Amino acid sequence: MKMMSEPSYAKFNKKYDGTGLIRKGDRKRESPEVPYVQVYFDRSRSWDEEKTKVGRDALATLNKYVRLGKLKLVVSYFNSVVFDDYIEDGTDGTYGTPILADVQAKQPDNVIVMTDSDITDCQEHVEVPGKVWYLFSGGVSDNIRSHLTGKMGTESYEIRPKDVELLNYAKGEE
């Protein structure tokens, strides 16, 4: 959540110290604005069952923040196009250009892309106002990473299925 300031007598204006005048100061508080995160979940042929589990576990973690009201999450799926409905078996190849077009159309504050190293077709650069996070499984795509960035930062993580197994074991799940 963003911090914002508002005038308040709860904190006096220091500019008027020693003058005998009491003026409102600025009090910091959390903004009621909930961040909007657009997630792109790979459903291509190369995104196999093991990688899909990694992605689903990541979505489950994000949904905890949605339930707490700290995040607005919208999930789209992609292969050679972007679509809203989940498909069980991956089809087609992995393309980044449809993701870039969808980001330009929806204009999300923040973006998460879950994919592997197969994206090589991006040509134009797109920047979101917030952050972009990449969750790579089975390799890293420098092509999409250099063409979709965030003004507040771009971070990449490579997640292996063993990491998810260890994380689930630490949480007491098997």
Distance CA 38, CA 131 (A): 11
Residue 133 confidence (pLDDT): 95
Residue 171 confidence (pLDDT): 54
Residue 10 confidence (pLDDT): 65
> Taking the model in full, what pTM does it have?
0.73
- Check: CB of residue 65 under 8 Å from CB of residue 28: no
Q: What is the CATH number of domain 36-170?
A: 3.40.50.410
Kindly tell me the burial class for residue 14, based on how many C-beta atoms sit within 10 Å of its own C-beta (0-12, 13-18, 19 or more): exposed
Per-domain residue ranges of the chain: 1-32, 36-170
How far is CA 18 from each of CA 10, 23, 96, rounded to the nearest angstrom? 18, 12, 61
User: What is the per-residue DSSP string for 18-29?
Assistant: TTT---EEEEEE
Angle 133-91-86 from CA coordinates, rounded to 5°: 60
Q: What is the pLDDT along the chain (174 residues), one digit of tens a residue?
A: 456 666 766 666 777 777 777 777 776 665 668 889 999 999 888 878 888 888 888 899 899 999 988 889 999 999 889 988 877 766 678 899 999 999 999 999 999 999 988 899 999 999 999 999 999 988 899 999 999 999 999 999 988 766 555 555 555 554
User: What is the per-residue DSSP string for 87-145?
Assistant: -SS--S---SHHHHHHHHHH--SEEEEEE-TT-----S-EEESSEEEEEESSS--HHHH
